[in-house]
Structure 1
Amino acid sequence: MKEILKIGLDSVAPVPMHTDYNSDVFEGFEVDLMREIAGQLNLEIHYEISLWKNILEKLYKGELDMICSAVTMTPSRQRILEFSVPYLQFRLCAVVNEGTSLNNLNSFDHKILGVRIATEAEKYIMEKFPNHQVVHATKNEELYQQLVKKKIDIVIDDSPIAGSFLQKYKKLQMGMFLPDTHSHYGIAMKKGDTELRHRINEVLRHLKENGVYHQIYKKWFTYIEL
């Protein structure tokens, strides 16, 4: 009998990490990665869907076994959770409409910024631009639609997710990568669950050594520098 793991999943799909779990086709980089990990460890995955603003709290309370859903590895999170070795590097970036020029952070002056609630991008904006007008949304899609309609000027997002929306909305472009925002995603687990962490890390290393990780990466990230 396979061990069952309850994995938290962001209900608002951060494509290309994964699509909407309730869509006709549930797929994405993290979906493929977790399928490989589960196969190697003889695990059965049960996804539990939740809003991003609630998902980390559910893991901390022990209502989930892990999260593999674009969780940025930060010092504060690493104090209360276990993390696998990083599985994806990225940066925060600014997405704008075609023809908009961003040279540095001073270019953000007098601009309306958009960001998703309870993300590291939101934290960055509140620290760097405390006096700016900011639109906070629960869904990435809401922000990009407002950007296309020019109701906001800049969307701040993780580069892998931004890349997907650039594919969808051809009139948008990458404005710039934000300085000093190199970050990593990792699989988050309950604090103290070191045995599971070691097992996950072994598989991740094996997938990189045998080329499977590279195949999955190439499948989903061919359009943007991360």
Structure 2
Amino acid sequence: MKEILKIGLDSVAPVPMHTDYNSAVFEGFEVDLMQEIASQLNLELHYEISLWKNILEKLYKGQLDMICSAVTMTTSRQRILEFSTPYLQFRLCAVVNRGTSVYNLSNFDHKTIGIRIATEAENYIMGKFPSHNMVHANRNDELYDLLLRGEIDVLIDDSPIAGGFLKKHPDLQIGMFLPQTHSQYAIAMKKGDTILRQRINEVLKHLKGNGFYHQIYKKWFNQIEL
């Protein structure tokens, strides 16, 4: 009998990490990764959708067993959650309308910045530019629409997710990658779930050794600059 795990997913699909679970086709890098992990460990995955601002709290409270949905591994989060070995390196980037010049942080002066609530992008921008005009939103797609309409000047996003949106919106571009924002995605689990973490880490190591990881990395990030 398979062990059932409740897996948290961001309700705003961070393509190419994963698409909308309720769409006609549920796919993405993390979907492929978790399906193979589940197969190797004889797990049955039950996905649950949540707004990003609530998802980590649900895991902390034990309402979820795991989150594999573009979770940045940070020192503060490691104090309250368990994390697998990281499975993707990325950076924060500034997305602008094509033709807009953003080369360094001084170019952010007098610009309205869009950021998503409860993200590391929000923490970074609030720390760097506490007095700037900002628009905070629950959904990434809201920010991209605002940028296309000219209601914000720049938005900050994780580079893999920005790459997914840029494929849909050719009028947008990455203006710059933000300094000192090299980060990692990892699978988040409840604090104390060390046996599950160890099992997952062993599978991740195996998948990198047998070529599966490289195969899905190339499939989903071939044309995305991370």
1:9 and 2:4 equivalent? no
Q: Distance in 2 between matches of 1:15 and 1:222?
A: 14
- The answer for unaligned runs of 5 or more in structure 2 is none
Residue 101 of structure 1 is matched in structure 2 by: 101
Residue 47 of structure 1 is matched in structure 2 by: 47
Q: Distance in 2 between matches of 1:6 and 1:158?
A: 25
Counterpart residue identity of residue 197, structure 1? R
Deviation at 1:113, TM superposition (A): 0.4
Q: Distance in 2 between matches of 1:209 and 1:131?
A: 47
Residue 79 of structure 2 is matched in structure 1 by: 79
Deviation at 1:6, TM superposition (A): 0.6
- RMSD, aligned CA: 0.6
1:36 and 2:43 equivalent? no
Residue 127 of structure 1 is matched in structure 2 by: 127
Counterpart residue identity of residue 170, structure 1? P
Please list the CA deviations of residues 34-61 of structure 1 after superposition, one character each: whole Å capped at 9, or x if unmatched: 0000000000000111111111001001
Counterpart residue identity of residue 187, structure 1? I
Q: Distance in 1 between matches of 2:165 and 2:66?
A: 27
Deviation at 1:95, TM superposition (A): 0.5
Deviation at 1:146, TM superposition (A): 0.9
Counterpart residue identity of residue 114, structure 1? G
Please list the CA deviations of residues 84-119 of structure 1 after superposition, one character each: whole Å capped at 9, or x if unmatched: 000000000000011111121000000010011110
Q: Distance in 2 between matches of 1:107 and 1:47?
A: 41
Q: Secondary structure at the match of 2:136?
A: strand
Q: Secondary structure at the match of 1:95?
A: strand
Deviation at 1:224, TM superposition (A): 2.1
Q: Distance in 1 between matches of 2:109 and 2:94?
A: 13
In the TM superposition, 1:61-210 aligns within 5 A as 61-210=61-210
- The answer for unaligned runs of 5 or more in structure 1 is none
Q: Distance in 2 between matches of 1:91 and 1:184?
A: 8
Aligned residue pairs: how many?
A: 226
Q: Distance in 1 between matches of 2:98 and 2:13?
A: 25
Counterpart residue identity of residue 172, structure 2? L
Q: What TM-score do you get using the length of structure 2 for normalisation?
A: 0.99
Q: Secondary structure at the match of 1:44?
A: strand
Q: Distance in 2 between matches of 1:103 and 1:22?
A: 38
Residue 214 of structure 1 is matched in structure 2 by: 214
Q: Secondary structure at the match of 2:79?
A: helix
Deviation at 1:11, TM superposition (A): 1.0
Structure 1 segments of 4 or more deviating over 3 A? none
Q: Distance in 2 between matches of 1:223 and 1:112?
A: 29
Q: What TM-score do you get using the length of structure 1 for normalisation?
A: 0.99
Counterpart residue identity of residue 7, structure 2? I
